[in-house]
Structure 1
């Protein structure tokens, strides 16, 4: 690919990550007060916070379960198809979530909320898997820098989501943020097959990833250490998302627009630091242990009997 084509492809991937994370995060300041309004009985009011937490975590659970499976079959499915189909599911699920405003029955309200988050989680897993696959195959010479840029797009979307959702809520009500963002994602579904034509030959992944199967990855010590660090950081972020909106709304009477603006600030540092960390990882990447190189059949297997060791040279 030419330099201009690579830049254009990276911009498209950043847009996909950016708009998908806006769709993921716009409900943070909006859903807790909406759920509190729909809970009309005492028993329903007591379970509002619990259901809010489960609605948030359902998305992450689906991503965790679906991602390794999709990663295993990315060559068969195709990265471009995964990217466009993931955007279609995320956009449709985001618009569907906006319809819960018109549902008064508590049970139906929760069913639509859960279903839309399941669909959104699966679509996000498709989109993320395709994005990282394309980044790894088309930007092999500076993968860490590209991943840092994509992480910056992810962080920007996650930051803008609550603030833009709160602002659109103040202007046009609860459904507007979900319908508008969902529509922008669906526009990308129409345009991406034309503008992202050469995402790479997925057959090229065969020789690169033959040894890096999911079972082997799950027996690698450094994979588990990295995953543990990510889980701790994500859990800390998730606790804030689940509780802060309801707390600020019930204790101080803040509306969703103000809650979204407050939640804007704690993600700014994430946006600013991601490309810097990616650049540092590219510069000092030679110090990464050889255990990451599965093509050499060398890895640090976990010492527990549950996980078999791999042959070593």
Structure 2
């Protein structure tokens, strides 16, 4: 529970833009946890001071290198693991344990970010990721069978802990350093994450062909370690002397907006993860060459990466947070209905170009829906009396990472099961249904928040009573 002297009121004019109005967002001095001055939330890289430019550029580079190191094993590891006695089911579990560990650990890191130290958590997480990547590159020398499998699980689990730590700290730092443009800079970093996810597999495949199993991990792992060392030396201290919020991570669950946002983050991540084990089989009917098949897999991530900064800018500039989440999911619903295509849409031809259109819509819709979610979590936290400080940002960041990883863990599992039982057309309808449920919940919430003053996120409620979770 927050201390009485830390509780504060928010006026309707302050909170309404954040809830989806077209009015510009108020600038907030998040380092002091107090409202500061009125003005539009404009972002210009040239106007950012040197200190924050370094933070943003270094995080972009770290994001790119780290995601590359996570994704390089996709083209060759299943083959190598099979040679070492691991079944395809075990290989899938080795991939899945990474997300499962993040689901569990991210809330813990977020809850204790102020006590651990934001910069320490960020740098140490990067270093753990780099070291584990190098260690993973030595597992081809492990004895076959059980020992190899156990070492793979251990290495991926520890690497996931490092990833969870540094990503949780990363989003918290961004919110702390760029309070008025958090979704704009988040969109910019998502571009580099998307690029890393796109180029990681081909880089991994090329290095594997060049130098064998270990080379991709040795090079990318070493690059990640160098990033960590440079960050440790050059990054300024973050959030020293920040106030602590006397509440746990689970306090966030008292906000209806946080709960609805959790559903939308998870279903969006499920939709992305669904593609990994299922889409290649669906495209096999078109008898594509390998390079063209790979290109089809790149369409949705490329559109997502390119448009992410735009969605972030619109979110910060206009404040259409809830509307963007609902609208983006509705667009994504249409993409999943035509990619099958849905059996109840006989007028949609099952052609390659239709799949291409669906992938473009998928990247647009999921980008629009996912980018504003972190800001929605911040609004939910504010409505519960949690001040805008590093401790709150850590809790929201941990919640966001855990929600996304939860969907990323379920997506491939659900995808493989649905395709085996129903076939790809009906399975894609199932994903469309999940996305539709997310959009519907947000639309219902938008209606209720206007009708029920008792909701914590209602501007009237937040203006007329002291907030207390």
TM-score (normalizing by structure 2): 0.56
- When the two chains are superposed, the root-mean-square deviation of aligned CA atoms in Å is 3.2
2:55, 2:79 → 1: CA distance?
Answer: 39
2:80, 2:71 → 1: CA distance?
Answer: 15
Q: How much has 1:237 moved relative to structure 2?
A: 2.7
Determine the structure 2 residue equivalent to 1:304.
Answer: none
- The counterpart of 1:7, out of the listed 53, 66, 75, is 53
Does the C-alpha gap of structure 1 residues 263 and 95 become closer, same or farther in structure 2, counting only changes over 3 Å?
A: farther
1:178, 1:135 → 2: CA distance?
Answer: 28
- Asked whether the 8 Å contact 1:13–1:131 carries over to 2, the reply is yes
- The counterpart of 2:96, out of the listed 57, 61, 75, is 57
2:145 pairs with 1:106: yes
Q: How much has 1:130 moved relative to structure 2?
A: 1.0
Determine the structure 2 residue equivalent to 1:128.
Answer: 167
Determine the structure 2 residue equivalent to 1:83.
Answer: 122
Q: Which moved more, 1:147-156 or 1:176-185?
A: 147-156
Does the C-alpha gap of structure 1 residues 195 and 312 become closer, same or farther in structure 2, counting only changes over 3 Å?
A: closer
- Asked whether the 8 Å contact 1:211–1:295 carries over to 2, the reply is no
TM-score (normalizing by structure 1): 0.82
Determine the structure 2 residue equivalent to 1:305.
Answer: none
Instruction: Flag structure 2 segments of 5+ consecutive residues without an equivalent.
Output: 1-46, 323-375, 387-453, 458-465
2:90, 2:318 → 1: CA distance?
Answer: 44
2:126, 2:468 → 1: CA distance?
Answer: 41
Q: How much has 1:280 moved relative to structure 2?
A: 1.0
2:385, 2:90 → 1: CA distance?
Answer: 47
Q: How much has 1:120 moved relative to structure 2?
A: 1.0
2:239 pairs with 1:201: yes
- The counterpart of 2:64, out of the listed 6, 15, 18, is 18
Does the C-alpha gap of structure 1 residues 143 and 74 become closer, same or farther in structure 2, counting only changes over 3 Å?
A: same
Determine the structure 1 residue equivalent to 2:250.
Answer: 215
Does the C-alpha gap of structure 1 residues 203 and 242 become closer, same or farther in structure 2, counting only changes over 3 Å?
A: farther
For residues 76-131 of structure 1, the C-alpha deviation after alignment (integer angstroms, 9 at most, x for no partner) is: 11111011100111001111111122234111111111111101110001111110
For residues 266-313 of structure 1, the C-alpha deviation after alignment (integer angstroms, 9 at most, x for no partner) is: 411111121111111101227668645236478659xxxxxxxx9769
Structure with bigger helix share is 1
- Asked whether the 8 Å contact 1:52–1:242 carries over to 2, the reply is no
2:320, 2:246 → 1: CA distance?
Answer: 21
Determine the structure 1 residue equivalent to 2:260.
Answer: 225
Does the C-alpha gap of structure 1 residues 204 and 265 become closer, same or farther in structure 2, counting only changes over 3 Å?
A: same
- The counterpart of 1:284, out of the listed 318, 328, 333, is 318
- Asked whether the 8 Å contact 2:383–2:456 carries over to 1, the reply is no
Q: How much has 1:167 moved relative to structure 2?
A: 1.5
Q: How many equivalent pairs are there? A: 291
Determine the structure 2 residue equivalent to 1:29.
Answer: 75
2:191, 2:98 → 1: CA distance?
Answer: 21
Q: For 1:293, what is the secondary structure of its paired residue?
A: helix
- Asked whether the 8 Å contact 2:252–2:380 carries over to 1, the reply is no
Determine the structure 1 residue equivalent to 2:383.
Answer: 294
2:176 pairs with 1:137: yes
Does the C-alpha gap of structure 1 residues 287 and 164 become closer, same or farther in structure 2, counting only changes over 3 Å?
A: closer
2:186 pairs with 1:147: yes
